[in-house]
Structure 1
């Protein structure tokens, strides 16, 4: 039986909630975030996006692009409440709901509670109910697997719906720009371009062995999705793949002692979060963002879970290995590769926290 998968993605979720709750903001370029020199945009309305403003952009860059940008402080409790309302709608149709974040989720409606044969009809009903209950719009993608449904939901945003039927899968994937592939980030796209891979059809030139040679564990995933294959199930109880903590500093760090002190603070915070999560991981990753927004990471993986003492030692090692030759804007530490978990290609490790 062909699976029927829907991907629902709320349109500019945080910013749309702000425009809904404050009518004077409607039709205006609104962002959620701080307007300070060191602020970062958490979400941007479609009016703001017309000026090239995007989430994760530095606020000062966003203001240069749109001087009349309107900044709203985040209200995460409100966003979580609205997200819960939306999930209630999902569960009217299926218990196979896999949230990726507050504003998007996969649904498997192959066998749904209402006995509706058409996944397109289910998606249409869900979109309408979301609008009626929250006064917010959502975009939907419908297809035979998670990869295709995710890509489809991006085709007609905002407030759109796109269906990729089984007979159209290969033609669709072959013409899809590689940057549109779910799991292909900026660095992977650059590497693919160096290999003269620009669209899905270009991936078909590479056999599985060559894909794994160039892209490691993710090679199997790229090989499959180039052929429209994605057997991953919709998992209602998806567990976190990592526990991390990071801090953006009010002033750039330039002194070695300052850096070591901040690493100790991060380590202490990470230990508390690990204790709360009950997780034990074997990989520690250091994240460094410099004053020019260049970002690097360094990782260490052990055979056994990293305890508190090893965490301190590894953090010091990672700092020594990192080329800290510029003022530092942000530092972060993350534990992953949890004890007993199945390995999964990095490209598939989806975020389930807030999207920034």
Structure 2
């Protein structure tokens, strides 16, 4: 019933009010109008017969005028009916398309939510025994209950610990993206020195960069700049970007980390490299969840493709902006802009 009323209202909107009222009056009283015009014409003939020429001419003209009006109303009614039928058909097509689109969107959202819940559940189930494996491996690696005599066993334990740590990082990334997609991730904001956090992130990757022959530079704008944000999330943003920069920069290349305020008073963190870069056609895929560029797919040492998705989500949660510029074989520049309102006085 409501849908029918909506359709009728939609059709009514196509009508000119004056013409619409005329059409309604014509439809309801067309018999009376026809009889009235006929009577006027008959009176005109009678007046003519009795030599009342003036009255006869007047009635004749009036009957002709009414006839023209009736014929005009008839053709207008036919034209408007055709237009209204076309509008109604177009409206029905649009309504069906919207309904199908809404249903498809609802199913997609339900599927995404189910996928996120499933991934989160599996990740929790895997992380618990993984933490135990890491704990025992660390005990054996540090020789808490006595040194291992075999160097091969020491190497095995070290590999187990490194592989387990890598898997734990992947699981944490999956859990983070699941929480973000479900809207359950909350920021734990505090005031801290952003340059200290940047220094920590650079220190974590300095060893890996040195092994690859990559120079890692850190440039400061205003030292001691403090911001109010989620410290763990900011560190994760830096680690994810630096991980890609160091990973895809070849021997002899460089990675630069700059931090300072832009001309608008916002905090700007820029991480640039001289690495292999990203093809323009690959950038949308790289920025999507689980997406990887063509070069990353060929590299056996690739992750889940969640790094930049998490970066974008964390930046958005802080009310910031994310920009990525890259050209193949010329390097990549990633810019993180946090609003000036987060800078602590």
TM-score after normalising by structure 2: 0.22
More relative contact order in 1 or in 2 (CA 8 Å, sep 6+)?
A: 1
Q: Which structure shows the bigger proportion of residues in strand conformation? A: 1
Q: Which structure shows the bigger proportion of residues in helix conformation? A: 2
Larger Rg: 2
TM-score after normalising by structure 1: 0.22
